[in-house]
Each structure stands twice: as C-alpha cells, then as structure tokens.
Amino acid sequence: MGNSNSANEFIILLAPLSGPLVPITKVPDPTFAEKMVGDGISIDPVTETLLSPCKGKVTLLHKSHHALTITTPEGIEVLIHIGLDTVNLKGKGFTPKVKEGDTVNTGDTLIVFDADFLTKNAASLLTQIVISNGEKIAEYLPSSGMAEAGKTEILKLKLIKANYVPEQKEESSSLESQDIRILNPQGLHARPTAVLTNSAKRFASDIKMLKDGREANAKSVVAIMGLDVKYQDRIRLRANGTDAAQAIESLQSLIRSGLGESLHGAPPEPKPPLQQKPDIEKSSDPNILKGVSASPGIVAGKIYRLKQDDIEIKEESEGRTKEREKFLSALNKSKIELSELQNRLRNSADVGKAAIFAAHQELLEDPDLLAATEEDMSAGKSAAFSWHQAYNAQADILRNLNNELLAGRANDILDVGRRVLVHLTGENAAKKEIPPGSILVAEDLSPSDTASLDRGRVLGFCTTGGGATSHASILARSAGIPAIAAIEERALEIKQETMAILDGDRGELRLNPTQDEIDRLNELQNKIALERKKNLEEASAPAVTADGHRVKVVANISGLAEAEESVRLGGEGVGLLRSEFLFLQRSEAPSGEEQAAVYTAIAQALGKDRDLVVRTLDVGGDKPLAYMPLPSEVNPFLGVRGIRLNMVAPELLQSQIGAILSASPYSKLHIMFPMVSTIEEIRLARKMVEQQKKELAINNEVSVGIMVEVPSAAVLAEAFAAEVDFFSIGTNDLTQYTLAIDRGHPRLAKMADGLHPAVLSLIAKTAEGAHKHGKWVGVCGGLASEKAAIPILIGLGVDELSVSVAALPQVKAEIRSLNLEDCRNLAQNALKMMSAADVRKMAAAFLENNG
Ligand code: PEP
Ligand code: MG
C-alpha cells in the first residue's frame, strides 16, 4: 500500500497519524489554508508517532524537527509539518527517528513528538501533509472523516503527463489565440504575471506566450517577465496538448479581464532609460550626500558599511542524484523559511508586505528556473553552480530590459537565489554583528536583508541602488526605519564609524555633524519620543476635549492582527473593517464559514464592549478582486462598485451578510454598506440583513449603516438618516466624487484635498442630517487621522473618528488639547473659505495658537 498504483497514474498517501481529517483550506494559518506551501490535507492527531505516508527518501529534515519532506520515487515532494507555529519550539518536544538522505517505506516511523508539550506550547497540533512541487499533480483527491495511522488512505494524487501515460489517449491539439492587447497600465509586471502563470499551471498543455517573434513558457513568471510586455503591447497564446482549447479560452479571457488588476489606472509615465540613476542633484559639500527619500525619519549614528560576502561555489558535481537531492532539500528549506517570514509579517499587521515573500516562494517553483538548473545538473555540474547560473541569467535578462518595475524584480530573483544558494553551499549566513547605533551603507539591501534588520542595532540605512518604490524601501517604511535610496556612489567609501545624520525625509546624509547639531537632533527626538510615550500611556483613556466634549476614537483595520493592535493602542472599537482586503489575493471566493471565522475572531479580539463596523465588500473601482472578475468598464469608479455588487452577484453579498452576522454575539456589531447613492439601495440592503437574521435565527442587536462617500448621500443626508442607524463619512471617495479627481491620479493627487470647503460643506450637511434623527456620524476616511482636519471635523459635529491603528494615541491626545467652542468657530470659518489651501492656512494658525 502507499505510493503509486500499477499504471503509475496515482500516488496514494496513507495517514501518518490517527485523527480526524481536516481540509487544508480550514487550517487556521494562511500559509497552509491559502496553499502557499502546496495543496494537501491536514489531520488533527490523537497519536504521537508520525509514520511515513509513502515510500521515498527523506530529502529535508527541518532543523527544528517539526517538518520534513519525503520525496517519492516519482519525484513528488510530500512535506509534513507537525503543528502550527511549532518552529518556535526549536526542536523541543520532537524526536526524529530518521535523518536526511534515509530511505523510508510507507508506515516507517519518522518523528515521535510529545503531544502534551505541543498542546501547551504551540498554536495547534494540526499536522499538514502537502505537496510542495504541485506542478506535477493534475488532481488532488483528499479523503474525509477519521483516519487510522498507517491504514487509512488520506490523499490520492493524480499525476501530470510526464509522470504517467494516460490509459485512454485523448486527442492532443495545438492552438493559437488571436492577438490580445495588454491594457494593464504597468504591463505584465510581477503580480498579474503570477496570476496568469498560476492559472496556466492548472492545464496539462504546454502553453507559450508569444510576443514580437519571441516566446516564453506561460507557466513561468520569470520567462514572461523576460518578454517585457508593456501597456498596449499585443501578445498571443499558443497551447499544445489535450486541454489546449480550454487553456486558450480561459487564459485569454483572464488576460482581458486584467489578471486581477484594474485596467483603468493611468498609463505609465514615460521613464528615463534604466541604466541612468534617477536625476539626483549631487552635493558639492564633501560632508553632504544626496539620494532619494525612501523612508521618513531622522537619526544620528555611526556609519557601518555592509558588504555581502561572496559565496564560494564548486562547479564539479558529486553525482547527479546526490546533487538533485541537495537541490530539493535547499529549495524546501527556503520555502519553509519564506513561509515563516510571511507569517511573521502577517502577525505584525504587515499583511501587504508578506506578499513580497509569497512572490519569492513562487519563484522557487518557477518551471523555467528549475528546468535550467536541472539541465546543468544533468550536464554534470553541481547543484549550487547550476542554480547560481540559472537565477543570475534570469536576473540579467530582467535587469537589461528598459523597464524599472521588472528590473526591481531582478533583485528579488537574486535575493531568493542567494537564499537557496546559502543552503546549497552550507555557507553560514550568520550575520556579522552590526554594532548598536549603526547607519548601514550598502550597494543594495535585499528584501530578506531588510525584513531581518535588527531594529535594536540599525537606526537607518542608505543604499546606492534602489528607489522609493523598491521593496527594501517599502519594507523600511512599514518598519519605520529611516532610509535613503540611490545615494551618491561615494557613500560606499565613507570610513567605518564615521558619525552621520541620516535625514530620510530629505534624502540626505550629513557626515561629521557638529556636536551642537547632534545635540539639537537628540533633543528633538527626545521630545517626540516623550510625547509618543505620554500619548501611549494615556491611550486607553477616552478622548474628551478641554471643555468636556467626548469624541469616540476607533480604528480602520483590514485584518485580525490590526484588531488586536488597535485594542493595545487604546482603540474604542473598529470604525471600518475593509472586508475586501481579507481575501484580496484569493483566486476563489472564500466560503461563508471561512469568512465567519475571520469576523468572529476579530469580534472576539475586540470584546463585547467595543463596536465593530464591518463594511461589506467594496469591490470595484481601484480594488478589483481576483476571484470576482468584473466586466471591464470605461469608468470603474463610476461603475459597479460597493453596494452595486448586489446587481451582479447578490449571492456573494448575501453570504457575506450571513457570515458577518455570525460575529454578533462577540462585540457590538454594525454592518455598513459602501458607495450608497440612492435610498432604494439602503432599503434593499436593510431587507437583506433582516432576511439573513431571520434565516439564521439571530436575535442580537445589529446596527445597519452606510458610508457617506457619494455627494448624493450627503446632500440627502436627512432623508437617508431616517433609514439607517449611523453614517460613516468616507472622505477619500467623497473628495474624489465631489471634486471629480481620480483619487489615485498621479498628477492631480495634490488637488484632491478633503479640506476643500465643498467637501467640508457636505460633511456639515451629513452631520446635521444625522443628528436631526438622533443618529451618530463618524469619519473613516484619511482626513480623520490628519492633525489639521481633526478640529474642523469635530467643529462640524462629527461624533467619531476612525483612524489608522498607529495614529490612535496621537489622535486622542490631539482631541484632548482642543476646545469644542473653538473648533466650532474654526469649522464655520472654514466653510466660508474659497480653497483647500486657505483652509489649511487657517488650520495651521489655529493649531499654532492652540500650542
Ligand atoms: C473612503 O472612501 O474614505 C473610505 C474610508 O473607504 P476606502 O478608502 O476603502 O474607499
Ligand atoms: Mg471609499
């Protein structure tokens, strides 16, 4: 039993442990539930001896002994991961009974673990069995119910073409599509390309993308990026195989729908040729070096020049099989590291940044990179040499394209390439001890380097490479590390330990500052730090103005980690959960239960005394959902967006409302509908909530409200107020729709100012309308977190400010420094102004007087 059947068409895995089987999508860890490591199954174990589910070789035993990979004779990598977050136990509670390189039979003991210890010290005992090289699998057939270790079949894997010969030969055909015009504003950069390759991998056919006489494997991200497909380019698809027709049809409509991107952003501005560095004025002062601002903040510290050591690579092979095994093991170790890194970022509320490493993980499965490595290994080269050649060649191709976005991805290939190389060569990646108080200077920092910087030692960094949009800069901003990119080359020659001030806002590095300058900087920083500390200490107290007016301060969140963080930072609840962000990257709609689990977890994190306002899907506009491709529209911001989803997919909205309602016992639940512009829409939405409540027999009180972000809702606020329980003003959209300026427009962004008197007058009208009917009104747009806007919003009668999580303590402190009467006067004067600039000037003078 176990392993392949006679025709070698299937591989059968037997239960490695006894216990109930759990679908992989139900595992409470997105790394597994979203199949980032691979597809498979999970088991909730009642036994403590992990048996091999198949015959094969142990190609990876993680150093923490909580995970291993068995590679079957067919080359299928079966990764078994005991428990969740068990890597943190550093091997405690696990006794491995095999080592890397051992051959095992189905049912052999692999690892014995202490379930009691794991239950107390890990997030869960759920054990995942997943296939990490899924491109070889045509179909997964998981079992359900109870499993008995060594006996029950838990997963049947149908293999793809090369691994087996189908019994009935299907007709194979070769087909080519018509020309397809690419309308993605940035062309086929990494994200849409990944959507395409993931879909292409579902087909057995060989699929190529053709452009200008060149062709690329449509299942390979690096190959497609190498074609440098730009906005308005024409491409074709060619498929060869039994499912060629379906592949062409499905992929071409996917490309036409935008591959998960909005097709209506502004087309790219022409860029200067890449080889040139951005035009940065050079400083004539030897002590001042200029670059571009990559992350704001100003710090004083000592220069530490960071050099990446060269890794020694042996070319000669120790035999093909051995090299291949080494390669598989290095790939697997890297995949596990990357999924742990993603988890860490997710838990630190950095959901978006985790995607950078998810893309790295995908590169490790790129068929072209793997094939190029395989080819060299077959020609008698070592795995390290072959892999090094393969990823450098791909990075060179991207670097030499005249395309800044793709050149940025070359760094990602080099980064992930180096990660695997370190495992292959056994070269210790142990970081050199960076002295505390350092300002790092390097040619470039990889995303991995940036994500693992020790905040206790590194105050800031500057790189001669990169730019404001490179991943290192994005990560620096999210970690709050001041940074400069594209700094003058002579930065690399600065002597170690030179004293310097790094000004991230101005993109300037000042060497050998005077003691006086350092003292002044330290003084300023101490003042800011003291203020922050004080605000944090007082964060849990309510925000009451000096003359006794209470304003509720709540948070805008997009997931559980931020909900938890908001409680820590004194949030009185959540004023906006942007539910569309919970499942943004998914290719299939989340089930009702899956959604319910997330809403419930968030409600529980907030508790019964706090408000939770869940906004229903605000899909459309600039937020396309990969699993919900909407027909393309000329003006998507004026199209099927927000509550209008009900017109194209009412079942989706219904199932979401049901899922939200299941969180009602755990906090004060509010359901909010976005983009409401007519009374009929809100009546219909209310009806849907009532219907779902009845169907699900939910009797808890649930408020129903709307976002006021379309001028019609603000103008008719009084009429709308009679129909809802609350309003929340979305100033981001209200500004865009009032001033007719696309909120993401690169040229007009500065004009889209929410302090424009026209927008303020709509806010005033909304507050008036709400209060006439005794309803409360909040602001959840970006304006609520802006220091200059806070007194005006309060003066206009806003009852609640919903702000970014990090801003909670400051906003509360700001409110405490105000006086309601003064705010009212300020607001009334603002309404009489002619421009946003005038309002800003007046607000600045007000704040200055206010101390
Ligand atoms: C807004 O429009 O102000 C708002 C809060 O919603 P979003 O930014 O998600 O559109
Ligand atoms: Mg909005």
Residue 517 CA to ligand 1 centre (angstroms): 42
pLDDT range class, residue 163, cuts 50, 70, 90: very low
Q: Kindly identify the ligand whose nearest atom is closest to the C-alpha of 763.
A: 1
Cβ-count burial 526-558 (b if 16+ within 10 Å, e if not): eeeeeeeeebbeebeeebebeeebebbbbbbbb
Tally Cβ neighbours within 10 Å of residue 719: 12
CB-based contact 128:108 (threshold 8 Å): no
Q: Kindly identify the ligand whose nearest atom is closest to the C-alpha of 782.
A: 1
pLDDT at site 580: 82
Give the residue, 845 or 396, on which the prediction is more confident.
Answer: 845
Give the residue, 808 or 340, on which the prediction is more confident.
Answer: 808
Distance CA 170, CA 162 (A): 15
Q: Kindly identify the ligand whose nearest atom is closest to the C-alpha of 779.
A: 1
Residue 478 CA to ligand 2 centre (angstroms): 23
Asked if pLDDT for residue 64 goes beyond 70, the answer is yes
Residue 844 CA to ligand 1 centre (angstroms): 25
Residue 729 CA to ligand 2 centre (angstroms): 9
pLDDT tens for 327-344 read 988 888 888 888 777 777
Asked if pLDDT for residue 385 goes beyond 90, the answer is yes
Residue 773: exposed, middle, or buried by beta-carbon count in 10 A (0-12, 13-18, 19+)?
middle
Q: Is the dihedral of CA 644, 647, 648, 654 positive or negative?
A: positive
> Which protein residues are within 6 Å of ligand 1, measured from CB?
576, 578, 618, 709, 730-733, 780-781
pLDDT range class, residue 546, cuts 50, 70, 90: very high
pLDDT at site 285: 86
Residue 129 CA to ligand 2 centre (angstroms): 41
Which residue's alpha carbon is nearest to atom 1 within ligand 1?
A: 730
The average pLDDT across 262-268 equals 56
Name the one residue in this structure whose structure tokens are 């988890």: 343
pLDDT tens for 753-793 read 999 999 999 999 999 999 999 999 999 988 998 899 999 99
Distance CA 781, CA 804 (A): 9
User: Which residues are part of the catalytic machinery?
Assistant: 471, 780
Residue 753 CA to ligand 2 centre (angstroms): 15
Cβ-count burial 435-446 (b if 16+ within 10 Å, e if not): eeebbbbbebbb
Instruction: Compute the mean pLDDT over every residue in the chain, rounded to the nearest whole number.
Output: 86
Angle at 538 between CA 535 and CA 540, to 5 degrees: 120
The residue type found at 205 is S
pLDDT at site 630: 67
pLDDT at site 258: 82
Give the residue, 361 or 811, on which the prediction is more confident.
Answer: 811
For the chain, give the percent of residues with pLDDT over 90: 48
Q: Kindly identify the ligand whose nearest atom is closest to the C-alpha of 785.
A: 1
CB-based contact 38:104 (threshold 8 Å): no
Distance CA 77, CA 58 (A): 10
The average pLDDT across 234-259 equals 88
Question: Computed over its alpha carbons, how large is the radius of gyration of the chain?
Answer: 29
Distance CA 306, CA 322 (A): 35
pLDDT at site 190: 74
The average pLDDT across 810-829 equals 97
Q: Which atom of ligand 1 has the smallest separation from the CA of 578?
A: 9
Q: Which atom of ligand 1 has the smallest separation from the CA of 556?
A: 5
Q: What is the DSSP letter of 233?
A: -
Q: Is the dihedral of CA 340, 343, 349, 354 positive or negative?
A: positive
Q: Kindly identify the ligand whose nearest atom is closest to the C-alpha of 615.
A: 1
Asked if pLDDT for residue 276 goes beyond 60, the answer is no
The average pLDDT across 97-122 equals 91
CB-based contact 504:294 (threshold 8 Å): yes
Q: Which atom of ligand 1 has the smallest separation from the CA of 783?
A: 3
pLDDT tens for 37-52 read 778 999 999 899 999 9
All residues at 6 or more sequence positions from 464 whose CB lies less than 8 Å from its CB, including other chains: 442, 443, 444, 486, 487, 488, 489, 491, 492
pLDDT range class, residue 674, cuts 50, 70, 90: very high
Angle at 681 between CA 679 and CA 686, to 5 degrees: 100
Asked if pLDDT for residue 220 goes beyond 70, the answer is yes
Asked if pLDDT for residue 30 goes beyond 80, the answer is no
| The token pair that represents 612 in the structure block | 């939770």
Asked if pLDDT for residue 266 goes beyond 60, the answer is no
pLDDT at site 532: 87
CA 335 to centroid of chain Cα atoms: 17
pLDDT at site 392: 93
Q: Which atom of ligand 1 has the smallest separation from the CA of 674?
A: 6
Residue 730 CA to ligand 2 centre (angstroms): 5
pLDDT at site 312: 83
Asked if pLDDT for residue 244 goes beyond 80, the answer is yes
Which residue's alpha carbon is nearest to atom 8 within ligand 1?
A: 732
pLDDT at site 620: 77
pLDDT range class, residue 359, cuts 50, 70, 90: confident
Q: Kindly identify the ligand whose nearest atom is closest to the C-alpha of 613.
A: 1
What is the bridge-based pairing of β-strands 543-544 and 292-295? unpaired
pLDDT tens for 497-517 read 999 999 988 889 999 999 999
Q: Which alpha helices (H) appear in 348-465, and where do they start and end?
A: 351-363, 367-378, 383-399, 404-425, 447-451
Name the one residue in this structure whose structure tokens are 């200490």: 537
Residue 733 CA to ligand 2 centre (angstroms): 5
pLDDT range class, residue 471, cuts 50, 70, 90: low
Residue 779 CA to ligand 1 centre (angstroms): 10
| The token pair that represents 634 in the structure block | 């000329």
Q: Which atom of ligand 1 has the smallest separation from the CA of 728?
A: 5
Residue 791 CA to ligand 2 centre (angstroms): 22
pLDDT range class, residue 561, cuts 50, 70, 90: confident
Sequence-distant contacts of 426-435: CB under 8 A, at least 24 apart? 427/311, 427/312, 434/304, 434/306, 434/458, 435/302, 435/304
pLDDT at site 495: 93
Residue 177 CA to ligand 2 centre (angstroms): 38
Nearest to 571 by CA among 606, 616, 529: 606
pLDDT at site 543: 97
Neighbours of ion ligand 2 (CB under 5 A): 709, 730, 733
Distance CA 529, CA 297 (A): 12
Residue 641 CA to ligand 2 centre (angstroms): 10
Asked if pLDDT for residue 746 goes beyond 80, the answer is no
Q: Which alpha helices (H) appear in 443-507, and where do they start and end?
A: 447-451, 471-479
Q: Which of 79-93, 115-129, 574-588 has the lowest mean pLDDT?
A: 574-588
Give the residue, 465 or 544, on which the prediction is more confident.
Answer: 544
pLDDT tens for 619-671 read 877 666 667 766 667 788 898 889 998 888 898 899 999 999 999 999 999 99
The average pLDDT across 281-297 equals 83
pLDDT at site 624: 66
Residue 441 CA to ligand 2 centre (angstroms): 40
Q: Which atom of ligand 1 has the smallest separation from the CA of 580?
A: 9
Q: Is the dihedral of CA 817, 822, 825, 829 positive or negative?
A: negative
pLDDT range class, residue 604, cuts 50, 70, 90: very high
The average pLDDT across 164-189 equals 72
Name the one residue in this structure whose structure tokens are 């428990």: 83
Q: Kindly identify the ligand whose nearest atom is closest to the C-alpha of 730.
A: 1
pLDDT tens for 526-535 read 888 899 899 9
Mutation choice for ligand 1 from 557, 562, 574, 578, CB with most ligand atoms inside 8 A? 578
CA 198 to centroid of chain Cα atoms: 17
Asked if pLDDT for residue 448 goes beyond 80, the answer is no
Which residue's alpha carbon is nearest to atom 9 within ligand 1?
A: 578
Asked if pLDDT for residue 124 goes beyond 50, the answer is yes
pLDDT range class, residue 3, cuts 50, 70, 90: low
The average pLDDT across 308-316 equals 81
Residue 778 phi, psi (nearest 5): -115, 170
| The token pair that represents 771 in the structure block | 């209060």
